[in-house]
A = this chain, B = another copy of it.
């Protein structure tokens, strides 16, 4: 492709509304253009990367026995009513009526459509399992679309759905998809981690997020240095955390009422009393399915709402409000599990974090709220002075915590961008939508489902977040829009001729190559080549040509080689093949 024919409008200025690097670079390198908030045109060069990724996805899914289908973008509201999600979905689901007044929505996902399809077309255990996917446009009317392709409103998603006869089959399929996802992201040349994720309300037991590791990632994840267990911090099982040990045993025969006038936070109280913040207990109040819960964690750590919800198998959860605390007789800022009047204790259930319940002798007792203004108790001990209705792991995991899977290693922290998600669904959709089959005894059974998503544009954006420098994008070869660019560094006819010769030779070897045939200065061509991020740059200059050589420069390593003009194409081909090896 000749640069003069290509619509690749590079710009120098960083667009003012682009906050993250991938968004900035995709605009600057002429890969995308905004049409409206969260809605983009994909220009030719950007679309090539997108298509390459889509093809990798297709190849690996097809290899796993999946079948591609295409479901509508405009979906009838009726199907969403059958699943009960017409009411559940928020304003992110864009709804409208057609000219006849019938309800429709723009597909945010396709569980309903695919479940109805399989329900209507698959009847027997003999026809199962089935694993269907599509690569198609989705729309979510985000309140604040941002970060370019990372959180757009219209976007391309690969969404897949599996149907099995039973849980064992569904979990086998889940594992196949888990493996396929590994192959997909490995082939892209990305550093990523498959982390266990919270399964929310679905009730299934398995869910993994595929996270592309990048400092700018929205998601916090931890990974055990010993057993390799990785999880979102909202899900990661924590065995033990660092708690400050007392120098000497501090256990009084009973908790001691201690004045702490005006000190409400754990930090203030710890300072006043001269103990570590980790020696205080933080009481966080939640309303879970209308029951008031006091959640107790070490004062220096954060309670994780997702973990609390999961531990209590709650459907609805939120922080309790001041009025609700007062109504229950609780004294905000001074709440604790010891010394609660019976009438109050009857209204409140207590969840104790496992690190509190299992703290070593030297790490307790705790300072707890006095349940009256301006007072705390010191010397409070779990078991003796207060009991729990539930003990559970509810801390947001942090670097240094002891892994709850192997109970030995400690966590390292990473940041990630979620690009894929595999999910065991069970019968969440098949049961209400009556997606049943007849088993070998003729009995009707609900199919057992899984769903599997990959954000197409999001992955390409994440690849840029992970692979760039101050000059521009550093594409992994598998996602690069083109493998190489040929730069004639001057307008002399012999330069252009030599460049055309290399260009032609590269094309003959099947290298995807751009010839920068613009009448621009070498500096402009260099800058654009780095910005767009061609993995291999072949400079054809006057000085080199005297010796019959051209310069091959690798975008990633900045490695430079002088190569005989006649050998440049073969060398480039070899570099491409090497880089595409998985």
Which residue numbers of A lie inside 8 Å of B, CB to CB? 4-7, 9, 30, 33, 35-36, 39-44, 47, 50-51, 65, 67-76, 78-79, 91, 94, 96, 98-99, 102, 104, 106, 113, 116-118, 120-122, 126-127, 130, 132, 136-137, 139, 141, 143, 153-154, 519
Do the beta carbons of A141 and B41 come within 8 Å of each other?
Answer: no
Residue of B nearest to A58 (CB): B51
Do the beta carbons of A74 and B44 come within 8 Å of each other?
Answer: no
Chain B residues with CB below 8 A from A47, complex form: 68-70
Do the beta carbons of A67 and B91 come within 8 Å of each other?
Answer: no
Chain B residues with CB below 8 A from A70, complex form: 41-42, 47, 50
Do the beta carbons of A113 and B68 come within 8 Å of each other?
Answer: no
Assembly CA distance A573 to B5 (angstroms): 38
Indicate which residue in B71, B94, B132 contacts A7 across the interface (CB closer than 8 Å). Answer: B132
Assembly CA distance A99 to B6 (angstroms): 36
Indicate which residue in B41, B68, B141 contacts A117 across the interface (CB closer than 8 Å). Answer: B41
Indicate how many identical chains form the complex: 2
Do the beta carbons of A122 and B7 come within 8 Å of each other?
Answer: yes
Residue of B nearest to A73 (CB): B137
Assembly CA distance A520 to B70 (angstroms): 28
Residue of B nearest to A143 (CB): B99
Chain B residues with CB below 8 A from A72, complex form: 35-36, 39-41, 154
Chain B residues with CB below 8 A from A139, complex form: 73-74
List the 3 closest pairs (A to B, CB-CB), nearest first: A96-B96, A42-B70, A44-B67
Do the beta carbons of B35 and A113 come within 8 Å of each other?
Answer: yes
* A133 smallest CB distance to B (angstroms): 10
Do the beta carbons of A69 and B42 come within 8 Å of each other?
Answer: yes
Assembly CA distance A33 to B5 (angstroms): 41
Do the beta carbons of B69 and A39 come within 8 Å of each other?
Answer: no
Chain B residues with CB below 8 A from A143, complex form: 99
Residue of B nearest to A117 (CB): B41
Quick one: given A75-B35, A113-B35, are A7 and B67 in contact (CB under 8 Å)? yes
Indicate which residue in B94, B116, B130, B137 contacts A137 across the interface (CB closer than 8 Å). Answer: B137
Do the beta carbons of B33 and A120 come within 8 Å of each other?
Answer: yes
* A124 smallest CB distance to B (angstroms): 11
Indicate which residue in B33, B69, B153 contacts A43 across the interface (CB closer than 8 Å). Answer: B69
Indicate which residue in B40, B65, B67, B73 contacts A154 across the interface (CB closer than 8 Å). Answer: B73
Do the beta carbons of B7 and A121 come within 8 Å of each other?
Answer: yes
Assembly CA distance A96 to B104 (angstroms): 11
Chain B residues with CB below 8 A from A519, complex form: 126
Do the beta carbons of B44 and A68 come within 8 Å of each other?
Answer: yes
